[in-house]
Amino acid sequence: MNIHEYQAKELLAKYGIGIPAGHAALTVEEAVAGAEKLPGPLYVVKAQIHAGGRGKGKFKELGADAKGGVRLAKSLDDVRKDAGEMLGNTLVTIQTGDAGKQVNRLYITDGVDIAAEYYLSMLVDRKTGRVAMIVSTEGGMDIEQVAHDTPERITTITIDPAQGFMPHHGRAVAFALKLTGDLNKQAAKLAQQLYTAFMDLDCAMLEINPLVETKDGKLLVLDTKMSFDSNALYRHPDVEALRDETEEDPMEVEASKYDLAYIKLDGDIGCMVNGAGLAMATMDIIKLNGMFPANFLDVGGGASKEKVTAAFKIILSDPAVKGILVNIFGGIMKCDIIAEGIVAAAKEVNLSVPLVVRLEGTNVQQGKDILANSGLPIVSADNLGDAAEKIVAQVKQAA
Ligand code: ADP
Ligand code: MG
């Protein structure tokens, strides 16, 4: 799960980490009121979307010369004007894709006198199974580009979970940033605080770009992105409360209510499968037969009739879906229960596209009988290859 910049900064501030003062705003009036609470005279109006690259982004509705999603404002009037231009409009950045994201929230923050910009991120490194800190003197830029052009300017420091964060890790971070004197001490302390926050909050990723050195010698987090391990969210109701569903795919939001693992994809064939491995195999075999899956959907091992119905509705609510392939192995979940779910859902949603169902496992015959006697145009398949061939043929025929 991702959160907004201002939410991440508020979380980090609780760990003693330095951030510029700021206030979130949902309206132009709130933006101006937020700015009034800041010392001024330089304010920064920042679009809050779950994507980076906002500064260099462009608003769809505004001209090509219009400013991006991070704007310096020199007066309250400027704040009012910038907030008015941003709210409700669509910001396109290198991370949003062409569709862009609608800006519904702003963050009004102190303008900082920047002496230098640095990069610092933390993630769970799958190769080592440890938390890694990635540090670079090249802040404020696209880190992938830095990694490509000047990899020697990136340092990775891994932390042994059994040992935890040690003072030498902090010194290594400060050294990699080439900081001396008091700034060196600040960097070491910041690294320690970030590690504590990362572990406490069960983060999956934390990126600070840029981390800045101010002209009066302080390290501040100027921009940050934070994401959390969804499997650990139950331990953090306060973090879960920060979820902004308007930033997520509506179908994925609906799926998560039923605990369904659903990912929207670009193809035409909707898939409903139990088990991630079988779901991957189903997607592969659809491709092998010349078409593409419209989604990944794992209903899980112990799915109920309600879950199957919900899954079915989600697939059908995608206008791109031209046919559905259900591929279920009834182990924990019996085939007749699945069949009942499929029939109930198909009737409820007025199934308008071809549906091929392949059932295997416990009570398979009862399941097939339910489908055959449903009065619905459901095509049964005997195995995975047969199922994929049938759905592709049906969709092509219907086209
Ligand atoms: P994004 O990465 O989405 O473009 P950032 O918050 O990193 O957004 O802002 C882009 C750039 O704008 C920063 O690298 C920094 O130079 C400048 N900037 C951002 N916030 C401030 C601020 N509070 N004061 C001064 N400059 C800022
Ligand atoms: Mg940034």
For the segment 149-198, what is each residue's pLDDT rounded down to a tens digit? 999 999 999 999 999 999 999 999 999 999 999 999 999 999 999 999 99
- Listed in sequence order, the residues at least 6 apart from 218 whose beta carbon sits closer than 8 Å to its beta carbon are 18, 186
Task: Compute the average pLDDT of residues 312-339.
Answer: 89
Tell me, what's the pLDDT at 337? Answer: 85
Pair 90, 160 in one domain: no
pLDDT over 80 (residue 51): yes
At 13-42, the pLDDT tens digits run 999 999 999 999 999 999 999 999 999 899
How far apart are the C-alpha atoms of 196 and 265, rounded to whole Å?
36
> Model-level pTM?
0.82
Can you tell me the distance from the alpha carbon of 45 to that of 89, in angstroms, rounded to the nearest whole number? 14
Are 154 and 57 members of one domain? Answer: no
Does ligand 1 lie within 6 Å of residue 53's CB atom? yes
Task: List binding-site positions.
Answer: 46, 53-55, 112, 117, 209, 223, 274, 331-333
Q: Is the CB of 112 inside a 6 Å radius of any atom of ligand 1?
A: yes
Query: 1 lies in a domain?
Result: no
Domain count, the chain: 3
Closest atom of ligand 1 relative to the 111 alpha carbon:
24
* Mean of all residue pLDDT scores within the chain: 94
CATH number, residue 29: 3.30.1490.20
Cα of 189 from ligand 1 centre, angstroms = 23
Considering the candidates 43, 119, 195, 262, report the single residue annotated as catalytic. Answer: 119
pLDDT digits (tens, 9 = 90+) for 220-273: 999 999 999 989 999 999 999 999 989 988 888 888 888 888 999 989 999 999
Atom 9 (ligand 1) nearest CA = 55
Residues 198 and 286 in one domain: no
The count of other CB atoms within 10 Å of the CB of residue 392 is 22
pLDDT at 238: 97
Q: Is the CB of 210 under 6 A from ligand 1?
A: yes
Annotated binding-site residues for ATP read 46, 53-55, 112, 117
pLDDT tier at 101 (50, 70, 90 boundaries)? very high
Parent domain of 231: 114-240
Which pLDDT score, from 0 to 100, does residue 97 have? 85
Answer yes or no: 119 catalytic: yes
What's the token pair of residue 157?
A: 């420091």
Query: For this structure, is 144 an active site residue?
Result: no
Q: HSE of 237 in the Cβ direction (CA atoms, 13 Å)? A: 0
CB 65, CB 41: distance < 8 Å: no
Q: Is residue 245 included in any domain, yes or no?
A: no
Please answer whether residues 312 and 345 qualify as being in contact, where contact means their C-beta atoms are separated by less than 8 angstroms. Answer: yes
Shared domain for 86 and 132, answered yes or no, is: no
Look at residue 110 and tell me whether its pLDDT is greater than 80. yes
